[in-house]
Copies of this chain bind each other. A is one copy, B any other.
């Protein structure tokens, strides 16, 4: 909290009852101020995040199996990669378990959709980040009819069970759905086509997907309605302003870490005795 951010991000961004069609992608829920205030605040809060993450890591090294897992979903260009680079990039890489989920490999397709997800879960003490996730299996898979409806339909319940199991075993889920407007997406895709140093981020399929936006909106609506649970709520992030989305995710992660109420792990040795031993070693 600060003069520019006064209510918990988890409250400001809570998905409950929200209509996807009504999302103002240029809004900045929770934040009051100008862009430069936001950038200044982000720089300060990144240090708070890094300090909390170090404590989580320290506890992990001392046997605590708790972890935090940031799940990022969003259409192409929504800024998932920027969150990884600028938010997760502010903490110690040793403590980060990062996984990106693209089109499943042939091997992954032969397994249950959660198989590859389970293999990538953060270890105790780690800050995990999923760039896309098991939610692709009720988004792109549903929109393009890659499996029959009877299959994707049951996945909502499977996901809820899976996430409950995760939560019970010590993983705090921070699920963030990022939304940009179709106009903002067009602007960002145009940049990728105009700058040779951005070509690698572009795929012609990104344009094709724009035609499916209404179907994606419906899929996102069901996702929010059916998988935003008490143990693993969704947060809806208006993402037209990159600086705001980075700040908001930083706030969400800080909140999640503060809730763990972490202390530095106690010594499992006698510091005074070890200091005496060190003197003559």
- Chain A residues with a Cβ under 8 A of chain B: 58-59, 61-62, 81, 84-85, 88-89, 91-94, 96, 98, 100, 129, 131, 186, 189-190, 193-194, 196-197, 199-204, 207, 210-211, 264-267, 269, 271, 274-275, 277-278, 281
Contact = CB atoms under 8 A, between A and B. Distances in A.
A196 B281 contact: no
A214 to B, nearest CB: 14
B89 A84 contact: no
A269 B202 contact: yes
Contacts of A278: 186, 189-190, 193, 207
Given A193-B275, A278-B189, A100 B94 contact: yes
A63 B43 CA distance: 35
Contact of A131 (B94, B196, B211): B94
A281 B93 CA distance: 39
A278 B88 CA distance: 31
Given A194-B275, A202-B274, 5 more contacts: A84-B94, A190-B275, A199-B271, A202-B269, A207-B278
Given A200-B58, A278-B207, A193 B93 contact: no
27 contacts: A84-B92, A84-B94, A85-B93, A88-B93, A89-B89, A93-B93, A93-B96, A94-B100, A189-B278, A190-B275, A190-B278, A193-B271, A194-B271, A194-B275, A199-B264, A199-B266, A199-B267, A200-B264, A200-B265, A202-B274, A203-B269, A204-B269, A204-B274, A207-B274, A207-B277, A207-B278, A210-B281
A61 B94 contact: no
